[in-house]
Amino acid sequence: MAVTGVLRPGFVQMRVMDLEAAIIHYRDRIGLEMSGEPVDGRAYLRGFDEFDRHSIVLREAKQPGLDMMAFKVRSDNDLDRFAGRLNGMGVKVETVPAGEQPGVGRRIRFVTPTKHTIDLYTEMALAKEGPMISNPDLWHKEPRGMRATRFDHCALSGIDIDGSAKIFTDALDFEISERAVDEPSNTRLAIFLTCSNKAHDVAFLGHGEDGKLHHASFLLESWHDVGHAADVIARYQISRDIGPTRHGITRGQTIYFFDPSGNRNETFAGGYQYYPDNPLREWSSDQAGKGIFYYEGRLNDTFLTALT
């Protein structure tokens, strides 16, 4: 499948209350690589299998949560085209100048109906020790911690998830791969969207308060690695939400846990491949628990309430 326009999730900037503790968590426990020393109160990291300079930005602040999620697009022409589409839908677009983050070119920014800030960009400098490209070994140095290969997706929570999903489908050419629906009211409970052949690149989850981060997810290679992540969580007494388990929605294998500031993380493996001719997968409200946690068949309380 040719990926054009929006290529993938590029980076997420999260607020943390103790930058030093957050670096230990994301670098040493999840296993990300630092992209230089922290600057301007922000630390920049990436998975060991990512070419670009960074995919995770941690900003020290008084409250945890999400600053923005950014997607990389193929070309400057695409960036301008998406800006025009967004304006045509009545969505206000702002420009973030090149250099606001180290190595990142100009970005365009909009805010979804669920009050999430979304950036689009084309240019990012390559990592100094990105994946090898000439007779490549698997990695420069042996992965550590949970061995996260890359930033995978975010789930964002708010009220008008239909309105947010419509921007992604109509302006940015995303597809809805799967959703959960309350059939009596025809209310969407969760919407999973993809710009690639992954099961999802971003998800919107219904919640009574806007602008919330549900989780940031990191890709692992296998179900075995999800189990290894659980070993790391137990060894270092990291606050665990649920898992290891499996999703019905996306079919991914998963474990959820929290960073020291309370932002929920996920390590994720597997999941089905999506193609644009696939029929829409849909879950009814009475089966939504099984959709989220396939083995347990129900949601735990913290999954619905512990948001930042």
Q: Contact at 8 Å (CB) between 281 and 290? A: no
pLDDT grade, residue 256 (50/70/90)? very high
- Provide the pLDDT for residue 306: 92
Strand partners, 104: 124
Hey, which residues are catalytic here? 153, 200, 215, 247, 256, 266
**Which phi-psi region, left, alpha or beta, contains residue 270 (left: φ > 0; alpha: ψ -120 to 50)?**
left
- DSSP line for 33-45: EE-SS-BTTEEEE
- Provide the pLDDT for residue 182: 83
- Report domain extents, the chain: 6-121, 152-305
Answer yes or no: CATH 3.40.50.2300 is held by domain 6-121: no
Asked if the model's pLDDT at residue 154 lies above 90, the reply is yes
pLDDT tens string 92-122: 999 999 999 999 999 999 999 999 999 999 9
- Provide the pLDDT for residue 2: 61
Kindly list the strands in the beta sheet with 212-219, ordered across the sheet, starting from the edge strand earlier in the chain.
Answer: 240-246, 252-258, 264-270, 212-219, 150-158, 202-206, 187-194, 175-182, 281-284
For 152-305, CATH gives 3.10.180.10
pLDDT tens string 239-254: 999 999 999 999 999 9
